[in-house]
Amino acid sequence: MAVQINKSLCCGDNLCVNICPCACIELNENKKAVLTRKGRLTCISCGQCIAVCPKGAISLNNDGTVEKGEAITNCYPQFDEIAAMMKTRRSIRQYKDKIIPQEEIEKALDVVRFAPTSKNKQYVKWVVVNGKEKVRKLADLVIDYMRKTPAAKRMVASHDSGEDPIFRGATCVIFAYCDKEIGERYGTVDCSIATTYLELLLPSMGIGTCWAGFAIATAKEYPPINAFLGLKDTDKVEAGLMLGYQKVKYKNIPPRNKADFKFI
């Protein structure tokens, strides 16, 4: 993607010049914004210039498709609203026997693509396992790997008896993944940020989530899971959630330790 500036719309207010984190934009002799010679090489297409421009003069050229910024129509939620949302987030381990429609999952993932990524690389990808039978097959693979671990003996026995200690009856599992080489530097953090966005968004749709820790750890070590997910050998699962329609409604916020911080 490359930044594209419509000089006829530019008002020369210098906002884009000042906001650019890579010093890619300058005003020319006519007080119009242009990419610097350096900027043509170092622009990371982060969109800060698009977000700040009051005239809509800046867009992104994405493989020949011009993408303009979306106007902000709603104000940001107030602190108390966001605080309440974050405090009432729960790890859900009891789900209704109801499949999540694919379009609902697509709608949520279309929002979380706006999660920040290092240098705006946007290399976070998703794979969705939707449906009880598919989720059970995935649990089978996780358990197969755990059979060689003595500490997992009770969990293996629980699974073999027909219970679901891996996904707790969730009807869907979503993994965030990226290329292994990218993952060595940024993957774990960026995939985790995007997954956290997803975790905070889904309750607004009546969908509960819990981090799929056993599956995430196993996927990193057990190639058959990559094969089941249709991923390449060079792909690496970095984060993931089990999810489903929430069975229980919570009435209270449980206590937590006081925040441990200091100012320097």
Q: What is the pLDDT along the chain (264 residues), one digit of tens a residue?
A: 678 899 999 999 999 999 999 999 999 999 999 999 887 788 998 999 999 999 999 998 877 788 888 888 878 899 999 999 999 999 999 999 999 999 999 999 999 999 999 989 899 999 999 999 999 999 999 999 999 999 999 999 999 999 999 999 999 999 999 998 876 788 999 999 999 999 999 999 999 999 999 999 999 999 999 999 999 999 999 999 999 999 999 999 999 999 999 999
Residue 63 confidence (pLDDT): 76
Nearest to 126 by CA among 142, 111, 143, 140: 111
Phi, psi of 51, deg, nearest 5 = -65, -30
Query: Measured between alpha carbons, how far is residue 92 from residues 7, 164, 216, 235 in Å?
Result: 51, 14, 17, 28
Between the alpha carbon of residue 35 and those of residues 31, 43, 59, 119, the distances in Å are: 13, 9, 12, 18
Q: Bridge partners of 34?
A: 26
Q: Say what the pTM is.
A: 0.90
Q: What is the pLDDT of residue 153?
A: 95
Q: How far, in Å, CA of 114 to CA of 72, rounded?
A: 14
What pLDDT does residue 2 have? 77
Task: Supply the pLDDT for residue 67.
Answer: 86
pLDDT value of position 61: 81
pLDDT at 183: 67
